[in-house]
Amino acid sequence: MSFKKNVNLHVTKSAKLLNFSNDLLEHMKSIHSLIKVNVGVVINDKIKNFTGWRAVHSEHILPTKGGMRYDDSVDQDDTEALASLMTYKCAIVNIPFGGSKGGLKINPKNYTEEQLRVITKAFATKLINKGFISPALNVPAPDVGTSEREMEWILETYKSLRPDDINYRGCVTGKPLHRGGIAGRTEATGRGIEEVIREIFRHPDLIKESKLKNELKNNDIVIQGFGNVGSNLAKHLYNRDKAKIIAVGERNGYLFNKNGIDINALNNFYKINKSIKNLKLGEFKDKPSELLELKCDILIPAALENAITVVNVDQIKCKLIIEAANGPISFEADQKLNEKGIMIMPDIYVNAGGVVVSYFEWVKDISHIRFGRVEKRFQEQKILEIIDLIDKKTNTKTDYDTIKNIVHGADEEDLAFSGLEDSMRNAFIEIYKVKKEIKGSFRESAYHVSLKKLRKFYTSDGFPKR
C-alpha cells in the first residue's frame, strides 16, 4: 500500500471518530496544489534531466512549510504524503504553518558539490518562479539528503530573483547561522525527540503500560538511520540521559554492542569516514534489515518510510517504538503492533521539533533580530542584583565561580531549546489527555488533536459549519 494511502487511512479513522462529513474529509485529504518540474542541467557535456515535486497539502495558514528531500526514491505520491503529515504535525504543536513538502529524484552521492549546487539552483529557480518557494507562501527546510548547504543555495537563488523582498532570508529554514539561520536548528528534531522520550519517563503509568524499565538509562535502545535526526538524537540521549544505545543501523548494515555504543566516538568517526563500520566500538553486521528485529526496549526508526510493514512486523521485539522518521510503520503493521501491545509514539508528533525551531528561525528572519539580543545582558544584571541582595540579607559573600555559573542570560540556543521543550511537552499533555478520553493509541489521539484543530479552519473558511 502506498505511503499516501497509509496516512489517509489514519486520517479517515480519526475523522470518523470526530464525525467529519465525507465531503470535508475528502477535502482535508486532498492536495491543494502541486508542481512537478523537470530541470535540465549540463553534466559532463550532456544534458541530464532531474524530476522534482513540491506539494502543498493545506494552505489554511500561510506560509506552508516542509522539508526538501533528495533521494532516488522521491516520487509524487510520497511527496504528497509527506506534505499532509506536515499539516497534521504543525497543528499538533501549534505552529502557524500550512503543510508542504518537496523533493528531487536524485542520488546526491553520484554528484560533486558543484554539480549539486547547479542542480539545486536550477530546481529552486523553477519553484520560486512558480510561487512554490517564498517567505510568505512556502518555506522549505532540510530533509533526507539535504542540509544547511542546500538551504543556503536556495536562499542565494531566491535573493537574486527577488532582491526587493526585505524578508528574503525567511524563504528557507535550516540554513547556516551567518545566512540568518537559528542556533540549534540542526539538532532540533533529534532534541525534540529526546524530549518526547523524557516525557514518557515522567509518567509511571506509561512505563507500566509499556513494560519499560523505570529509568530511561536502563533501557536498551536501537536506532535505524544515523543521519541528521538519528545522530543528533543519539548524541542527546547518550550525553544528557546516559542512555544505552545497543545498536545503530545504516543502509549497509548495523553496529552492535550489547553494553552500549560510545556515541560520541561514533559521531566523530562518522563525520570523517561517513560510515558506522567501526569495529572498535562494536560488532558490524552487514544485514541492515536485521536491526529492526533485535530484542530491545526502545526501537527508533529514524531513516525512511515503510521500515516496518507486514513483512517484518511479526519479528519486532521491542516495548516502545518512537517514530523519528516520517511514516516508518505501514497502516497494517501499526494495527498488528497495537494488538501485540507495543506502544508507538507517532511521527506527526515525535519529529515535530524540527518545524518548531524552523518556526522560530522564520520569525527571527522576518523580525530581523536575533532572539535574546535585547534582553540577555539585562537578565544577567538582574540575577547579579538578586545575588547581591541575598548576600547582604544573609551577610554572606557568594564566590566568583558560583556567580559565573549562575549568571547566564539566555542566548539564542537556550531560547530555541526552551521553546522547543515547551512545545513538545505541551503537545504531549494534550495528546495524552485525548488518549485517555478516546481510549485509543497515541497515533489515534495525535490525529484526533490535529483534526479537531484543523476542522475549525476549514469550517470557518467558507465551508458550512458541521
Catalytic residues: 101
Q: Is the Cβ–Cβ distance between 113 and 37 less than 8 Å?
A: no
Q: What is the DSSP letter of 314?
A: G
Is residue 384 within a helix (H) or strand (E), and if so which, with residue range?
helix 376-394
By CB under 6 A, tell whether 79 contacts ligand NAD.
no
Q: Which is nearer to ligand NAD, 292 or 343 (CB)?
A: 292
**Cα 350 from Cα 373, distance rounded (Å):** 30
Q: Minimum distance between the CB of residue 359 and ligand NAD, rounded to whole angstroms?
A: 13
* Partners of residue 322 on adjacent β-strands: 345
Instruction: Take residue 160 and report the three cell numbers written for it.
Output: 537574486
CA 430 → CA 309, 382, 440, 449, distances in Å? 29, 35, 14, 7
Q: Which is nearer to ligand NAD, 93 or 303 (CB)?
A: 303
By CB under 6 A, tell whether 325 contacts ligand NAD.
yes
CA 65 → CA 80, 147, 400, distances in Å? 13, 16, 46
Range in contact with ligand NAD (rule: CB under 6 A) among 163-171, 206-214, 297-305, 370-378: 297-305
- Spatial strand order of the sheet with 64-71 comes to 33-43, 46-58, 98-105, 64-71, 138-142
CB atoms < 10 A from the CB of 105, how many?
Answer: 18
Q: Minimum distance between the CB of residue 380 and ligand NAD, rounded to whole angstroms?
A: 32
Size of the site for ligand NAD (CB under 6 A): 25
Q: Which is nearer to ligand NAD, 52 or 225 (CB)?
A: 225
By CB under 6 A, tell whether 143 contacts ligand NAD.
yes
For residues 341 to 380, the per-residue mask of contacts with ligand NAD, x marking binding by CB under 6 A and - elsewhere, is: ----------x--x--------------------------
Q: Which is nearer to ligand NAD, 24 or 266 (CB)?
A: 266
- Amino acid code (one letter) for 14: S
For residues 230 to 269, the per-residue mask of contacts with ligand NAD, x marking binding by CB under 6 A and - elsewhere, is: x------------------xxx------------------
By CB under 6 A, tell whether 226 contacts ligand NAD.
yes
By CB under 6 A, tell whether 194 contacts ligand NAD.
no
Residues 89-118 that bind ligand NAD (CB under 6 A): none
By CB under 6 A, tell whether 150 contacts ligand NAD.
no
Among 131, 176, 288, 419, indicate the residue that binds ligand NAD (CB under 6 A): 288
Q: Minimum distance between the CB of residue 68 and ligand NAD, rounded to whole angstroms?
A: 10
The residues, ordered by sequence, that sit 6+ positions from 34 with a Cβ below 8 Å of its Cβ are: 53, 54, 55, 56, 76, 80
Cis peptide before 63 (omega within 30 of 0): yes
By CB under 6 A, tell whether 180 contacts ligand NAD.
no
Range in contact with ligand NAD (rule: CB under 6 A) among 102-110, 111-119, 222-230, 435-443: 222-230
Buried b (16+ CB within 10 A) or exposed e, 279-290: eebbebbeeeeb
Q: Which is nearer to ligand NAD, 59 or 305 (CB)?
A: 305
- Amino acid code (one letter) for 274: K
Gyration radius of the chain over CA positions: 23
By CB under 6 A, tell whether 302 contacts ligand NAD.
yes
Range in contact with ligand NAD (rule: CB under 6 A) among 227-235, 259-267, 372-380, 404-412: 227-235
Among 138, 173, 189, 450, indicate the residue that binds ligand NAD (CB under 6 A): 189
By CB under 6 A, tell whether 145 contacts ligand NAD.
yes
CA 346 → CA 71, 123, 171, distances in Å? 23, 32, 28
Please provide residue 89's backbone torsions phi and psi, each rounded to the nearest 5 degrees. Answer: -65, -50
Which residues contribute to the site for ligand NAD (CB under 6 A)? 67, 142-145, 189, 224-230, 249-251, 288, 302-304, 324-326, 351, 354
